[in-house]
Amino acid sequence: MSRPIRCSRCHQVGHNIRTCPQVQVMPQVQVMPQAQVMPQAQVMPQAQVMPQAQALPQGQVMPQAQVMPQVCEITFCNLKNQNYLLYWVNGNSAIMDLDDMENQILAKALILGKSSIDIEVKHGDRYHLVPHSMNVSPPYHPSTDREFFIEPYATIDIPVSGDIPSIIHIDDKDKLSQENLWKFKALKLDFLMKQVIKLGGMKCDNLAPILDLHQDIDIPEHTELDKEWAGVPSTFTNLT
């Protein structure tokens, strides 16, 4: 008769140490997941350093940027009965001395007596007004400002900078004569006084005596064109 199997650990019969229920089963070692490799950080490009402005030698001045001449439209008003040819000088007094050289010219317009014309000009332009006896342009024009058959009545220089006048009167050269200066001022004053009367000025005790005296003044004969050139409303106002 064989001996019963006895566990050397718990001394119980029927199993050995390998099958002993008291033996604790070691938990399986959990395998740690592999560490995820983080993507490498993108390297930002270095800021570009702007080159420093080079210092100018002492005494030298930084050249200024060239400014384009202002182009605008002005009105040439011929207050005389004489016709004039208008010539533009091919040059600009802002960058050259037009008096010390012979300059090419270009015929721009024929300005009839007691008429006006609009011309585009720019800073530094020069124009010559040459008397002309006919009501049509001549078939031939001089090539330069030293080939005129008749001396210019006036030479008009547009300012090199600043405001360009909106109107040029052909009267005493390119200025208003004293006679027309007083005429235009009188027409303006007459217009303003009449406007005060329209607004009820005769009903004002302080203004009525002065306005009554104004009505006793006879304004000399003048035309609608005179009023237009004086800058007061006329039949030509807002005419297109």
44 domain-assigned: no
pLDDT digits (tens, 9 = 90+) for 226-235: 999 999 999 8
Evaluate whether 92 touches 125 at the Cβ level (below 8 Å): yes
Q: Which residue has the higher pLDDT, 6 or 145?
A: 145
pLDDT of residue 55 exceeding 50: yes
The C-alpha atoms of residue 109 and residue 85 are separated, in whole angstroms, by 6
Alpha carbon 48 to chain centroid, angstroms: 35
| Domain count along the chain | 2
Same domain, 87 and 108: yes
Same domain, 86 and 138: yes
Q: What is the CATH number of the domain that holds 149?
A: 2.60.40
pLDDT digits (tens, 9 = 90+) for 176-229: 999 999 999 999 999 999 999 999 999 999 999 999 999 899 999 999 999 999
pLDDT digits (tens, 9 = 90+) for 94-108: 999 999 999 999 999
Same domain, 118 and 204: no
Q: What is the amino acid identity at position 69?
A: P
Q: Which residue has the higher pLDDT, 65 or 11?
A: 11
pLDDT interval class at 20 (50, 70, 90) = confident
* SS3 (DSSP) at 99: coil
When pLDDT is averaged across residues 72-99 and rounded to a whole number, the result is 96
Percent of the chain at pLDDT above 70?
A: 78
pLDDT of residue 12 exceeding 50: yes
For 42-77, b where at least 16 C-beta lie within 10 A, e where not — what string?
A: eeeeeeeeeeeeeeeeeeeeeeeeeeebeeeebebb
Range of the domain at 223: 178-230
31 domain-assigned: no
pLDDT interval class at 21 (50, 70, 90) = confident
Same domain, 206 and 153: no
193 domain-assigned: yes
